[in-house]
Amino acid sequence: MPDSATLSVPVDKLETLEGAGFGPSSWREIGQDDIDVFARLTGDDNPIHVDADAAAKSPYGTRIAHGLLTLSCVVPMMREVFSVTGAAMGINYGLNRVRFPAAVPAGARIRIHGQVIEVTEIAGGWQTVVSVTYEVEGGEKPACVAEFVLRYYT
């Protein structure tokens, strides 16, 4: 990937972003402490995430981050490389598609890059569909690929 490219546009120019790319963001480590807190918060205490002995016997050979933990790390990384200014409110409207092609080992670092794939006018604002790819430092496959549906109201 090239050096980080921040994509920032006023809400009234949002329709010009279709096809534009952004990122990569800075690297963010997902440590075992993060994984343990997420497991307690969600009740997802699958041994692959929290039990070192059980995880060592798995195909990954170590504890790994939850896919949904990885997905949820998008906010600070996205904020770094993508912004819409002048909107009265922006919301995460949902996801069209999410895949987790590779695991994130505890202590690994991830970053994102993406592309605006669709911009549609809606009542009171704009809806964007943004494809976001999460890289794992040193990994061959992405940890996550997701299509976020974002809405910006004027």
CA gap 70, 74 in Å, rounded: 8
SS3 label, residue 128: strand
Name the band, by pLDDT with cuts 50, 70 and 90, for residue 29: very high
pLDDT in tens, 102-123: 999 999 999 999 999 999 999 9
Whole-model pTM over 0.85: yes
Q: At residue 49, does pLDDT exceed 90? A: yes
Category of 41 on φ-ψ map: left (φ > 0), alpha (ψ -120 to 50) or beta: alpha
Largest Cα–Cα separation, the chain: 54
List helix spans (H) across 5-151. Answer: 32-42, 47-50, 52-56, 67-72, 74-81
Task: Count Cβ atoms below 10 Å from residue 136 Cβ, excluding itself.
Answer: 23
Cβ neighbors of 145 (< 8 A, separation 6 or more) are: 97, 98, 99, 101, 131, 132, 133, 134
- 7-29+66-153: CATH topology: Thiol Ester Dehydrase; Chain A (3.10.129)
Structure tokens at 135: 């890289």
